Chain A
Amino acid sequence: MNKVLLGLLLGAILGAIDGMTALFTPEARAEITGIVIGSTIKGIIAGILIGVFARKVHSLALGIVFGLGIGLLLAFIVAQMQHGYYFQIMLPGGMVGLIVGYATQRYGRGPKLQQT
């Protein structure tokens, strides 16, 4: 699968799962729809960025570091907007980025070389 598409799909799925775990936090349950949508969008953005990076840079280590960085950065922005829960938001966010970074480098297919 195309690296960007793989990143997008993985980001969306893991983002949605990430958001749905808020169901287990009683005080967040009332805003679950917004949390899931926001988390999915965050996952999609991270996935696309990581996928584009994987297309340009063919390095498993750099892909993982970049994924982790993007995941942490986007999660930090979300945590800033929430005025708290830094640990609860940034740790899973970083982890999702790391997984997407690994998967896009390991399983994603690069662009086809054009014959000249």
Chain B
Amino acid sequence: MERIAEPLDFAHARGFIHRDLKPDNIMIGAFGEVLVMDWGLAKVGVSNLGPGETESTAAVQPTQNSLRLTGQGSVLGTRGYMSPEQTRTDIEIDHRTDIFSLGAILTFMLTGSAPGELPTASDSVPRPLRAICEKAMAFEPNARYQSAREMTADITHYLNGEPVSAYPETLLERSGRVLNQHRTAVVLVAVYLLMRVLFILFARR
């Protein structure tokens, strides 16, 4: 996911919106590199480059024309991976439409099923991961992650056994996570204490 997000973040910073992210458009190169393909539906928006940053390869100068180069007045994208606002022709979309698609891809990776059907509570997908998917695929763009980097940071937090921003955990869940994260240390201390108790019991005999 992180390696999908990297080129996407790069593109977003330069004002490009992919608009058709889906598993079919993610490819693994010969050296294991992740390639985000098919920028045919990409839209050029507003570059988010900082004041000190420059773009040497393809200077993005968004104009009224370039903003409307693709898809004006028509619905473009792939059902299931397309954000709600992308299905409408009357609102301007931004990079957060790609965040929705990333959430759909993550859902696909986790469940193996078509997006649009998030796993239910009984499914094997851990709740924090489900929350990440739900946040990325929120109906309102403002409720989603605001960048691909932010989303992958949450996934990395989950993989490292840390709390994720999308999922406020209960005290019990937090304790379970911390215990799981420090399993070996907990086992060692427990064995030590057990040994101590056994020594005391034997000493009393």
Q: Indicate if B191 sits at the interface (CB-CB under 8 A).
A: yes
Interface contact A24-B203, CB-CB below 8 Å:
yes
Interface contact B191-A95, CB-CB below 8 Å:
yes
Q: How many residues of A contact B (CB 8 A)?
A: 16
CA distance A38 to B101 in the complex (A): 63
In chain B, residues 162-199, which have Cβ atoms closer than 8 Å to a Cβ of chain A?
184-185, 188-189, 191-192, 195-196, 199
CA distance A31 to B34 in the complex (A): 68
Interface contact B195-A103, CB-CB below 8 Å:
no
Interface contact B199-A21, CB-CB below 8 Å:
yes
CA distance A60 to B47 in the complex (A): 47
Q: Which of B185, B189, B199, B203 contacts A92 (CB 8 A)?
A: B199
CA distance A88 to B185 in the complex (A): 22
Q: Which residues of B contact A91 (CB under 8 A)?
A: 195
Q: Which of B184, B195, B200, B204 contacts A95 (CB 8 A)?
A: B195
Residue-wise, chain A 68-105 has the 8 Å CB interface mask toward B (1 for contact) of 00000000000000000000100110011011001100
Select from chain B the residue with minimum beta-carbon distance to A24: B200
CA distance A62 to B199 in the complex (A): 28
CA distance A59 to B199 in the complex (A): 32
Main secondary structure of the interface of A (DSSP, over half): helix
Q: Which residues of A contact B185 (CB under 8 A)?
A: 99, 102-103, 106-107
Q: Which residues of A contact B199 (CB under 8 A)?
A: 21, 24, 88, 92
**Most-contacted residue by chain B among A95, A96, A106, A107 (CB, 10 A):** A95
CA distance A98 to B191 in the complex (A): 11
Interface contact B195-A98, CB-CB below 8 Å:
no
Q: Which residues of B contact A92 (CB under 8 A)?
A: 192, 195-196, 199
Pick 30 A–B contacts, CB within 8 A, sort by A. Answer: A14-B192, A17-B196, A21-B196, A21-B199, A21-B200, A24-B199, A24-B203, A24-B204, A25-B203, A88-B199, A91-B195, A92-B192, A92-B195, A92-B196, A92-B199, A95-B188, A95-B191, A95-B195, A98-B188, A99-B185, A99-B188, A99-B189, A99-B192, A102-B184, A102-B185, A102-B188, A103-B185, A106-B184, A106-B185, A107-B185
Identify the A interface with B (CB < 8 A): 14, 17, 21, 24-25, 88, 91-92, 95-96, 98-99, 102-103, 106-107
Identify the B interface with A (CB < 8 A): 184-185, 188-189, 191-192, 195-196, 199-200, 203-204
Instruction: Other than A102-B185, A106-B184, A106-B185, give 7 A-B pairs with Cβ distance below 8 A.
Output: A14-B192, A17-B196, A21-B199, A25-B203, A92-B195, A95-B195, A99-B192
